[in-house]
Chain A
Amino acid sequence: MSVDIMTAIKQQAATLTVQEKLQLANYLLEQARLDQQPHSNRSTMEQDMRRGRLEWLKAHRDVYGGQYVALDGTHLVAVGPNYRVARESACAAGKPQAFVTYVSKPDEVAEWGGWG
């Protein structure tokens, strides 16, 4: 990256609020940690993360069914009645990269849409 781009990023970051700076710092730290991993390790880590999240979602379906959850790895950081609330709560908690998803109730039937 050129010095000009780095300077521009620093200047833009200076305009952020304290909360936004902390969010940005957390994000950059996570990215830097991932970038330091060899690619094969990174793939395995991602795979383990997805597997862990899937198991978490299955295990907590009874509790959070019908709501949205935001997960940082396998750690719950926010819950909400819709995507927006869960996403914004995760951002407010300093986890803008959290995985946000709807958790269906165990007996819920999803809709297939208009051309089934």
Chain B
Amino acid sequence: MSYHISFAILVQYDPGQPSITVAVTLSLSQDHINCEAKVDTGASLCIFARDLGEQLGLEIESGMRQLVGTVTGTFVVYLHEVNLSVAGLECSAFVGFAEDEGFRRNVLGRRGFLEQITLGLVDYEGQLYLSYYGNA
């Protein structure tokens, strides 16, 4: 048996890099901020550096506090509703902004992003396929 899924968008990434990194735009009303984020199917949430939220005008600590576990401990993020745009796919999502100013990584995880889309991956060729769910 074979399975077929079609996608609306193809994103090329560098397969030589240690992670699958894509360009992301976060926005709130008229404020936009561009960044790069790692696609991570093992992450529960979408998490971004604190300064990105601050540049959008968010008061980070006014968000919903959420503890995030790593292999070595935990860290705190605050969840806020923002608009996410990845390769033209736009969605509203409840994403975390790190409490720690030294936190520099951005992650697109399941809740807020992966659950809203259909994703295909050909890491051999550095190809990431995306569509809105049900809209290929």
Point out residues on A near B: beta carbons under 8 Å: 39, 42-43, 46-47, 50, 53-54, 57-58, 61, 82-84, 99, 101-102, 104, 108-116
CA gap between A42 and B29 in the complex, in Å: 8
Residue B34, interface by CB 8 Å: no
Q: Give the chain A neighbours of B66 by CB distance below 8 A.
A: 104, 108, 110
Residue B116, interface by CB 8 Å: yes
CA gap between A110 and B65 in the complex, in Å: 11
Q: Give the chain A neighbours of B53 by CB distance below 8 A.
A: none
Residue B102, interface by CB 8 Å: no
Interface of B is mostly: strand
CA gap between A52 and B74 in the complex, in Å: 29
Given A46, A108, A111, which contacts B43 in the complex, CB threshold below 8 Å? A111
B70 touches A112 (CB 8 A): yes
List CB contacts (< 8 Å) of B30-59 with chain A.
30, 38, 40-45, 47
CA gap between A94 and B74 in the complex, in Å: 40
B67 touches A110 (CB 8 A): yes
Q: Give the chain B neighbours of A61 by CB distance below 8 A.
A: 64
Contact code string B97-129 (vs A, CB < 8 Å = 1, else 0): 000000000010101100110000000000000
Give the top 3 A-B pairs by smallest Cβ distance, nearest first.
A116-B70, A113-B43, A113-B42
Closest to A104 in B: B66
- Total cross-chain contacts (CB, 8 A): 82
In the complex, besides A104-B64, A108-B66, 17 extra interface pairs with C-beta distance below 8 angstroms are A39-B30, A47-B29, A50-B81, A57-B64, A83-B116, A101-B94, A102-B111, A109-B68, A109-B69, A110-B66, A110-B67, A111-B43, A113-B40, A113-B44, A114-B42, A115-B38, A116-B71
B81 touches A110 (CB 8 A): no
CA gap between A53 and B69 in the complex, in Å: 26
Min C-beta distance of A110 to chain B, whole Å: 4
From B42, B47, B64, residue with most partner A Cβ within 10 Å: B64
Q: Give the chain A neighbours of B25 by CB distance below 8 A.
A: none
Min C-beta distance of A100 to chain B, whole Å: 8
CA gap between A112 and B63 in the complex, in Å: 19
Contact code string B68-92 (vs A, CB < 8 Å = 1, else 0): 1111101101011100000000001
